[in-house]
Amino acid sequence: MAKPNPNATALNLPPLDPLPEATQKYFDICDEKLGMIPNVLASYAFDVDKLNAFTAMYNDLMLGQSNLSKLEREMIAVVVSAVNRCFYCLTAHGQAVRALSGDPKLGEMLVMNYRVADLDPRQRAMLDFAVQMTEASYKIEEEDRQTLRDVGFSDRDIFDIASVASFFNMTNRMASAVDMRPNDEYHGMNR
């Protein structure tokens, strides 16, 4: 039975013990599929309602129905996290980019400077928009949304880009505020 890391953050918020049955099952599935319980989940394990809210939003945005591929959503996560210098998300989602793309170099480029990556115009516009949202969302105008439409994104796609970028701006801030640390396993995966 997998147990969450009680040291997932700098805060002293021990996980519920025992975990609710559904939560324990979810953690066991994570451990089976990933070989670990991601510390982001462990950090919420002190309050099952907060954990459930976080996982529901994450699963909807990152795994739910969208015209954005899983890789594109992870690319947004990494580029937003690079702007925010979020160690946790750069490590965890950089690994996801490496896994989904099969290209360790792409993962590193997105972590360091997405502008050096060999991206198609659609991906470049998507990431430019996510960065603009992160750095100065108040400056976004119709012209910026039209740039996305011009490379093939629908209004629903723009909503999804904005949703993923917004979520990671929130989670980056949370991870930094509580000193959330990525699982050591992420560092060596998919290299």
**Is 128 exposed, middle or buried (CB count within 10 Å of its CB: 0-12, 13-18, 19+)?**
middle
Rounded to an integer, what distance in angstroms lies between the CA atom of residue 35 and that of residue 62?
20
Domain boundaries, the chain: 21-63, 70-188
Q: What is the pTM of this model?
A: 0.96
Please give the full DSSP string across 25-51, using - where no structure is assigned: HHHHHHHHHHSS--HHHHHHTT-HHHH
Residue 128's pLDDT is 98
Q: From first to last of its 191 residues, what are the pLDDT tens digits of the chain?
A: 889 999 999 999 999 999 999 999 999 999 999 999 999 999 999 999 999 999 999 999 999 999 999 999 999 999 999 999 999 999 999 999 999 999 999 999 999 999 999 999 999 999 999 999 999 999 999 999 999 999 999 999 999 999 999 999 999 999 999 999 999 999 988 88
Tell me the CA distances in angstroms from 40 to 8, 59, 85, 117, one per residue in order.
7, 13, 16, 28
At which residue do the structure tokens 């929130």 appear?
Answer: 170
User: 55: exposed, middle or buried (C-beta count within 10 Å: 0-12, 13-18, 19+)?
Assistant: middle
Inter-residue contact 83 to 178 (CB < 8 Å): no
Residues 6+ apart with CB under 8 A from 51: 23, 41, 44, 45
Quick one: fold of 21-63?
A: 1.20.5
Q: What is the pLDDT of residue 140?
A: 98
CA dihedral 79, 157, 173, 39 (to 10 degrees): -80
- Asked if CATH classification 1.20.120.640 holds for the domain at 70-188, the reply, yes or no, is no
* The pLDDT value given to residue 191: 84
For residue 69, which phi and psi values (nearest 5 degrees)? -70, 165
